[in-house]
A = this chain, B = another copy of it.
Amino acid sequence: MNDQDWRSAAPVAKLRDYARSRSWRIGTQPRVVLSHGVRYLSSRTTFKASDLQIEFCTPDQLKKKPAVSDLVFGRHFTDHMLEIYWDDKAGWGQPRITPFHDLRLHPAAKVLHYAVELFEGMKAFRGRDDEIRLFRPDKNMERMNRTAARSALPNFDGNELIEILKKLISIDQEWVPHAESSSLYIRPTMIGTEPTLGVQRPTNALLFVILSPVGPYFSSGFKPVSLLADPEFVRAWPGGCGMMKMGSNYGPTLAIQKIAEERGLQQVLWLFGPDHKITEVGAMNIMVFLDKGNGEKELVTPPLHGLILPGVTRDTLLTLGRQWGEFTVSERDITMAEVVQAESEGKLLEIFGAGTAAVVTPVGEIHYQGKVIKMPTLKPEESLAQRYFNTIKEIQYGHVSHEWSVPIE
């Protein structure tokens, strides 16, 4: 009830008590207690995995795990979470794993007014050998730091966060589903918590991570989705932040997503410019597979010119496609006119979305300016989307050994 006491006082007090009794601490870094019991590592520019403190759940705090068949994306959360506070004078505080709990935020916290917030999306997979693996976590850490700099939020050493994530997942490892349709979604988030209303860079922030066991992102599974392509609504623009994973890229899309759903369509295809360039689909990158007519095929995705999120799955598909060497892999602009013409000439093979949540999502049809552009029906063995899905799944679930797959212990 005190407007100064905004920094998640309850868990901090609990942690202080905990430190005196049953805390498990790695490392012996000297610490400074600044205020509210939050210990900062004197002006540290990064936190360290070796400073991690852990408060385990008591038996009565453990939650019941949902059945794999009941998993809806991002609805269930595990028993523990990670929190790391930052202060512009003192730097990063100690990383703390605690029982999952509500955040206490001052109602003037900048995140609630000015969208001072960013996130990442990653996954952990239980392999057929029962080992748990992350997929290319270094890519997420690089992007999170890039987004933080653009968001006026603090940077950190991504390797330290990966080490801490491994520990967090290890603690909640029973939440990593025992099914290859499912995985553990990891949501690192950073928010500006300074409780003042000036439109300025926050002097305080919180990095937190929550974990969510997930089934397929779309309840329809690996079924083609239908898209609304309306050039009236623009997701990102030159000089903006379309290439950053900031909350501000998502809020303005929800009303348009609702319009699509009201028309019976699943997702929005985002266009840009007078020539209606294809940019992204929903919250995914987009891939267009074309028959070039001379026995050649081309996989096209828009280049990273500032309007496009540099997706980890996007990079994975491009890298695999180039390794296979069976078709041209192009990062180039592609317009709706080119898609419409390719479809009319029978040269449009497939369109699919690419992202961490759904991996690969085939597109069935696009509703655009009164027309419906339908994709050809393919047998699974003919589908490039399906081939990508299978290949990535084999890497993620440890069917094959791959440098992209990083075991948590």
A15 at the interface (CB under 8 A from B): no
Residues of A in contact with B, size category: 35 or more
- Centre residue among A6, A112, A210, A253 by max chain B CB count within 10 A: A112
Asked if A239 and B248 make an inter-chain contact with CB atoms under 8 angstroms apart, the answer reads no
Selected contact of A115 from candidates B150, B240, B250, B257, CB within 8 Å: B250
Q: 0/1 per residue, A285-319, Cβ < 8 Å to B?
A: 00000000000000000000000000000000000
- With contacts A73-B198, A104-B102, A210-B107 taken as known, whether A251 is within 8 angstroms of B257 at the C-beta atoms is no
A224 at the interface (CB under 8 A from B): no
Q: 0/1 per residue, A199-238, Cβ < 8 Å to B?
A: 1111000001010100000000000000000011110011
Asked if B191 and A187 make an inter-chain contact with CB atoms under 8 angstroms apart, the answer reads no
Asked if B239 and A113 make an inter-chain contact with CB atoms under 8 angstroms apart, the answer reads no
Selected contact of A255 from candidates B102, B150, B239, B257, CB within 8 Å: B150
A84-136 residues at the B interface, CB under 8 angstroms? 99-108, 111-117, 119
Complex Cα gap A119–B199 (Å): 13
Residues of B within 8 A of A76 (CB): 3
Asked if B149 and A255 make an inter-chain contact with CB atoms under 8 angstroms apart, the answer reads yes
A254 at the interface (CB under 8 A from B): yes
Complex Cα gap A119–B251 (Å): 14
Residues of B within 8 A of A283 (CB): 199
Asked if A187 and B113 make an inter-chain contact with CB atoms under 8 angstroms apart, the answer reads yes
18 sample A-B contacts, Cβ–Cβ < 8 Å, listed by A number: A1-B100, A73-B196, A73-B197, A77-B108, A102-B104, A102-B107, A108-B187, A108-B212, A115-B115, A115-B247, A150-B252, A151-B251, A151-B255, A199-B257, A232-B239, A234-B240, A237-B240, A246-B251
Asked if A75 and B255 make an inter-chain contact with CB atoms under 8 angstroms apart, the answer reads no
Complex Cα gap A1–B81 (Å): 11
Asked if B250 and A114 make an inter-chain contact with CB atoms under 8 angstroms apart, the answer reads yes
This chain: how many copies in the complex?
Answer: 2
Selected contact of A108 from candidates B198, B210, B282, CB within 8 Å: B210
A189 at the interface (CB under 8 A from B): yes
Residues of B within 8 A of A251 (CB): 114-117, 151, 246-248
Residue of chain B at shortest CB distance from A241: B252
A1-51 residues at the B interface, CB under 8 angstroms? 1, 3, 5-6, 9
CB A165 to nearest CB in B, in angstroms, measures 15
Complex Cα gap A185–B106 (Å): 17
Residues of B within 8 A of A69 (CB): none
A258 at the interface (CB under 8 A from B): yes
Complex Cα gap A196–B189 (Å): 14
Residue of chain B at shortest CB distance from A78: B3
A307-364 residues at the B interface, CB under 8 angstroms? none
Complex Cα gap A76–B196 (Å): 8
Complex Cα gap A189–B108 (Å): 10
Complex Cα gap A149–B252 (Å): 11
Complex Cα gap A1–B8 (Å): 13
> Can you name 10 extra interface pairs (CB under 8 A) apart from A6-B102, A102-B105, A115-B117?
A3-B100, A74-B196, A111-B111, A113-B119, A115-B248, A115-B251, A199-B257, A199-B283, A246-B251, A248-B251
